[in-house]
Amino acid sequence: MAWYDWVLWLGILYMFLGTDFTLNWLTGIAYGRRIDKNSPNFVTRLYYRVWASADPNARADRVDGPKSVPAPWVTALCATNALATCLIELLLLYGMLQDPRPGYVTMAAFAFLLRAEIEIIYGSQLIWGPARLRGGPLANYLIIGLVPQVLIPCLAAMRFSGLGLTPLSLAIFVGIPVAILVWTWIVYRHDPVPALDEAAPGPAE
């Protein structure tokens, strides 16, 4: 493979080992577990420190409260990552090493765009939704999560699109994801969602 294919391959490996396999399978969030800071599982405790401590949708509790299941949409996204996305990533990781390259690599690369859209949905909830991720957790999420996990699937699709590196391909595979994020920010800015504590109902009268 050329050097840029190796860079892309390592990026896909990072997504597989760094999030889609470890977060969804090893912590159990794909089948309804929350991220518990007191878990005996080292991976779970790591995710809690890096990101989940500031995410009420995924952490086990606010302080030491009950460990209920995550919101249904969180579980659905994580289950998709655990099943469909991991399969697509394995197809890409294996297929890109083959010579000649199998035809399914192109199909998998375009299917991988779903992973970018999932990250945009989840990132929008974390940053502009009730979670209101800020400070260190936000920086961690942008560096580890949102930016690479939107960009890598889009670059994979661009690589196998046949368009090459052109203004048109950049507009399609980079410009559109950025436009979706900007549009989402504009919508939230126009009609902001209350923070979790602000949205909580008051005491019954």
Per-residue pLDDT tens listing for the chain (205 residues): 888 999 999 999 999 998 899 888 988 888 888 888 888 989 888 888 887 887 877 888 765 555 677 778 888 888 999 999 999 999 999 999 998 889 999 999 999 999 999 999 989 888 888 778 888 888 888 998 899 999 999 999 999 988 888 888 999 899 999 999 999 888 887 776 666 655 444 444 3
> 5 burial class (0-12, 13-18, 19+ CB within 10 angstroms)?
middle
Q: What distance in Å separates the CA atoms of residue 73 and residue 57, rounded to the nearest whole number? A: 9
Instruction: Show me where the domains of the chain are located.
Output: 3-195
Read off the pTM. Answer: 0.84
d(CA 53, CA 31): 19
Q: Return the pLDDT at 132.
A: 82
C-beta of residue 57 within 8 angstroms of C-beta of residue 74: yes
